[in-house]
Amino acid sequence: MQIDRELGLDLYRRMLLIRLTEESIAAAYAEQQMRCPVHLCIGQEAIAAGACAALAKGDVVMSTHRSHGHYLAKGGDLSAMLAEIYGKATGCCLGKGGSMHLVDMAAGFLGAVPIVGSTLPIATGTAFAAYLKGEPRVSMVFLGEGSTEEGVFHESVQFAALHKLPIVYVCEDNGFSVNTPIAERRASGVRLDEMARAHTLNTATGDGNNALEVHALAHEAVGHARAGKGPSFLLFKTYRWLEHCGPGDDHHLSCRSAEDFALWKSLCPVLTLERALVESGAAVKADLDAERTAVTARVAAAMAAAKAAPSANPAVAGLHVYAEAAN
Neighbouring-strand partners of residue 62:
111, 141
What ranges do the domains of the chain cover? Answer: 5-309
In 10 A of CB 265, how many CB atoms?
12
pLDDT of residue 186: 82
Neighbouring-strand partners of residue 236:
172, 206
Q: Which fold has domain 5-309?
A: Rossmann fold (3.40.50)
pLDDT, one tens digit per residue, over 9-63 is 999 999 999 999 999 999 999 999 998 999 999 999 999 999 999 999 999 999 9
CB of 185 closer than 8 Å to CB of 132: no
In the chain, the percentage of residues whose pLDDT exceeds 90 is 81
Neighbouring-strand partners of residue 170:
142, 234
Task: Report the distance separating Cα 205 and Cα 213, nearest Å.
Answer: 10
Task: Report the distance separating Cα 77 and Cα 288, nearest Å.
Answer: 23
In 10 A of CB 180, how many CB atoms?
14
pLDDT of residue 28: 95
CB of 285 closer than 8 Å to CB of 63: no
Burial of 14 (0-12, 13-18, 19+ CB in 10 A): buried
Predicted confidence (pLDDT) at residue 88 exceeds the cutoff of 80: yes
Q: How many CA atoms lie within 13 A of 82 on its CB side?
A: 25
pLDDT of residue 118: 95
Predicted confidence (pLDDT) at residue 92 exceeds the cutoff of 80: yes
Top-confidence residue, 247 or 287: 287
CA angle, corner 64, sides to 189 and 257, nearest 5? 50
pLDDT, one tens digit per residue, over 143-172 is 999 899 899 999 999 999 999 999 999 999
pLDDT, one tens digit per residue, over 217-266 is 999 999 999 999 999 999 999 998 887 888 888 878 778 888 888 888 99
pTM of the model: 0.95
CB of 140 closer than 8 Å to CB of 168: yes
**248 φ/ψ angles, rounded to the nearest 5 degrees:** -105, -175
pLDDT of residue 319: 84
Q: How confident is the model at residue 327 (pLDDT cuts 50, 70, 90)?
A: low
3-state secondary structure 291-321: HHHHHHHHHHHHHHHHHHCCECCHHHCCCCC
In the chain, the percentage of residues whose pLDDT exceeds 70 is 99
DSSP of 88-124, one letter per residue? BTTSTTTTSS-TTS--BGGGTEEEE-SSTTTHHHHHH
